[in-house]
Chains A and B, each alone.
Chain A
Amino acid sequence: MRLNLTVNGEQRETDGVWEGESLLYVLRERLGLPGSKNACEQGECGSCSVYLDGILVCSCLVLAGQAEGSEVVTVEAVSGDSGLHPVQEAFVEAGAVQCGFCTPGFVVATHDLLRRNPEPSEAEVREALAGNLCRCTGYEKILDAVRRAAARGEDAPR
């Protein structure tokens, strides 16, 4: 089938999509956007987190066809022309990145959290990020990164 969608502000069209493909597969394998990761492909790890029409979703759980006509924003668009987004900056600074496979998902989920709640309490941060698995860091540095990003105030969420 043919798929039309807006990805990171750009109109994209792709042909020959098999009906069983997920949005994640299309992003990674057809649209050249492998930043969203494929760690579990069943919605448990959050490493494929993207915005679908402004809502945070696991792109592995969205059939590509369901995204027809939608607007998708991936981790690749979190940083702007002026460099890293404060959330990304904070993850690098805090040492919240080790193997990094979970990182794109955490960046998108944190971006979403701070957009909705610029000053989250620790319990709110933990709750918001409970759908993202990390196997390397033990989450301490990730919490630190979220605190740092939040502390940068209104600059942070865009």
Chain B
Amino acid sequence: MSQTTPTTPTRVGPGPTTWTPGKVGESDRRPDGVPKVTGEFEYSSDMRLDGMLWGATLRSPHPHAEIRQIDTSEAEDLPGVYAVLTHEDVPGRKVYGMEIPDQPVLAWEKVRYQGEPVAIVAADHPETARRALEKVHVEYGVLDPITDAEKAVQEDAPKLHLSGNVLRRIRILHGEGVGAAAKADVVVRGEYEVGMQDQAFLGPESGLAVPDGLGGVDLYISTQWLHIDQDQVAESLGMDPDQVRLTLSGVGGAFGGREDLSMQIHACMLALETERPVKMAYNREESFFGHVHRHPAKLRYEHGATRDGNLVYVKARLVFDGGAYASSSNAVCLNAATFACGPYEVPNAEIESHMLYTNNPPCGAMRGFGAVQACFAHEAQMDKLADELGLDPLDLRIKNALKPGDRFPFGQEVPPPAPVREILERVKVMPLPEEQEVMGRDLRGLPGGVSNVTHGEGVKRGVGYAVGFKNIGFSAGFDDYSTARVRLTVEDGEPLVEVHTAAAEVGQGLLMLQAQIARTELGVEKVSILPADTRVGSAGSTSASRQSYVTGAAVKLACEGVRERLFERAREELGEPPDGLSVEAGNVVRDGRTVVPLAELLDGDELEETCEYHHRETHPLDENGQGDVHLQYAFAAHRAVVEVDVELGLVRVVEIATAQDVGKIINPQALEGQIEGGIAQGLGLALMEEIQVKEGKVLNASFTDYLIPTILDMPTVKMEVLELADPEAPYGLKGVGEPPTIASTPAIVAALRDATGLELTRIPVRPEQLAGVSDGPPLPDEPTPGGAGYAEVGRLDGRRET
């Protein structure tokens, strides 16, 4: 197995990106745009080094089983195979996890979900690696899986973890709780269900681990948070964090799906074992097993209101299926509980939020993070209530809209700005798209497009509204911060600002934002953004819509530090009075008059500042579910117009109109991109996206069977943005990434209800529901090996046994 090891080559990655960005508030041509359109941009799956090996992962075909024995000898003997590793080879901590380290790096004793990694191999060709996996013999003792969160809490349910099957329970008691029910004239009840959505980022999980020859390793990786990866990888390798250096490689989308580790530890283990660079890249099917998903949920609601439409109380019981491991489920459970009532003034509430372990695929972060599931239910309830009261659904929302100074059900005072009423009024007055004649229309303009077999006879139009909100930044006492190093220097006679953070650009435009801030604060034309890596302090995660706020604030702070030192220098060397100096177009100026060019003032020196920005402290909930939990709230309202072919159950979304509260627009084009893209994912959840799981097994791990919206599915988006500054945030901005994904889904479903008169309590809404064929055809009892979409995980002969 061992062969002559070539000297480990050193990887030369892309260098800094230097350009002249726009200022804060301007659209900018993104600097990575040109390499991305030419194909030169290097994603994590594009990297290669001479002498590199390919890693591959053997995954459990069973959702729940004992591991009795693992025999790797046959795989090791295969020519071209350089390493076959199991849990016995994990040098350090055998488990990992962001909140609770409960997930095995490689399974031992038990597997708890289908697709759980059991062994890893490194070989000279991906096909050799795949064949080697077939030769790893794992003897499983198959166990009954727990596949229903409600059953996981039953006393006779087997315990999946030592701590039991309850991951978290939260109870919020507000006002008199359901004790206020007597004051309600009208009560509406509903039960809702949300299917398991996938982030479906296009760039598969991948990375390259390069041993440094001194016992350490460099990992080039697409992730959302370099430092939390570094900590977890180092812990499991039994190394100091500085022996495990991470550099961000090109990231092909994230949406929450890259918060947890995937192949990071595995690639490093293989690289250290073989003393060769090792690349791992999942294919699409493996990607479905390689990251966590959005939690499926069952939500039971009761809303009480007075006859004139004032909310009296809300009772809610939310049950989330966390799957086999904890991931970020704790925080999702908290978010869902705190967002359960929606952005409304609710005087009394009783909310329970349950998060359970099962043998289903692990769930965790996805854009909207707990607020999505709650919003689908509370918005359906608001429509139901409006219907019961004979009120316009939008007016009922406006009447109960939260405003600054109110209290959330968890006791926190609503901070300004909270323009819930304003955004609802904006979508109310936006002109509706003109109704087009259905009959005789170009088939491509009908629900179902050219695949429709009718000519529009059964097409009905509907309009629906929804509003939702999201916390920005990490909550509940987490010390959430970012680090920025900013250096002002002179290059070719021209001042240049270098910005170095570890913040992950995942496509959203963070490179531009950092550069815009640097240009604005330091008055220079040229900005250089250094590659994100662990040589600078943590930037926190590209999650929770927080990077513009938190890393934005860190970059601003570091720029201000550099600027202060510049002004000090101007005072010391030129005797300039301290007040009234500013920087503009490469000069220190006063009252529009140049005092001194930056290049001259620096005189060959460099000024560098490294700053951490920690946002205001937040607090965990107390035993009654009360506390100042969240940092910032961002709101968005949506109106959907749909056409439904009620005979065939086909839908055409005609238009989405939205109004969003953004604080301050930093980059108009990037903002629009976030809103449009977020709405597309909301549309997907409303109409088509669901990982179908039967008896713990995934039935549709492919883009053939897991559908995401195409260009034919997405309508025009009309948008209005409200710039009401948040006094605590840099430039007054609010996070913008998640709000578009939250209320767009319930708005579309409300429009479907309007068109069809159906109750539609489950998303995604399937054609058979719309056509009134209840649940549609029964699913096959067992997935068919070799059939389209059958999950090809585990060993081939193992699959044949099932």
Contact = CB atoms under 8 A, between A and B. Distances in A.
A97 B30 contact: yes
A133 B710 contact: yes
A75 B39 CA distance: 6
Interface stretch (B355-363, B459-467, B471-479, B504-512): B504-512
Given A47-B202, A99-B252, A129-B711, A88 B284 contact: no
A122 to B, nearest CB: 9
B284 A101 contact: no
Interface residues of A, number: 57
Interface range on chain B: under 10, 10 to 19, 20 to 34, or 35 or more? 35 or more
Given A34-B39, A78-B38, A92-B34, A99 B202 contact: yes
Contact of A92 (B29, B43, B250): B29
Contacts of A37: 43, 45, 202-203, 252
Interface of B is mostly: loop
Contact of A38 (B33, B45, B199, B255): B45
Interface in B21-80: 27, 29-30, 32-34, 36-43, 45-46, 48
B81 to A, nearest CB: 15
A99 B673 contact: no
Contact of A100 (B27, B41, B45): B41
A29 B34 CA distance: 22
B711 A135 contact: no
Contacts of B254: 99
B442 interface: yes
B669 A138 contact: no
A121 to B, nearest CB: 9
B266 to A, nearest CB: 19
Given A95-B672, A138-B717, A133 B202 contact: yes
A115 interface: no
B716 interface: yes
B714 interface: yes
A117 interface: no
Contacts of B442: 123
Interface in A104-152: 104, 107, 123, 125-127, 129-143
A135 B202 contact: yes
A140 B716 contact: yes
Nearest to A88: B37
B721 interface: no
A135 B37 contact: no
A58 B669 CA distance: 30
Contact of A97 (B37, B201, B202, B284): B37
A74 B39 contact: yes
B307 interface: no
Contact of B42 (A34, A38, A39, A107): A34
B708 interface: yes
A95 B36 contact: no
A130 B710 CA distance: 6
B204 interface: yes
Contacts of B34: 84, 88, 92
Contacts of B509: 98
Contacts of B704: 42, 44
A91 interface: yes
A95 B508 CA distance: 11
Contacts of A84: 34, 37-38
Interface string A34-58: 1111111110110100000000000
Contacts of B569: none
A135 B200 contact: yes
A59 interface: no
Nearest to A102: B202
B711 A139 contact: yes
7 contacts: A21-B127, A41-B283, A42-B702, A45-B703, A100-B32, A129-B711, A134-B202
Interface of B: 27, 29-30, 32-34, 36-43, 45-46, 48, 125, 127, 199-204, 250-255, 281, 283-284, 442, 444-445, 450, 506-509, 669-670, 672-673, 675-681, 702-704, 708-712, 714, 716-717
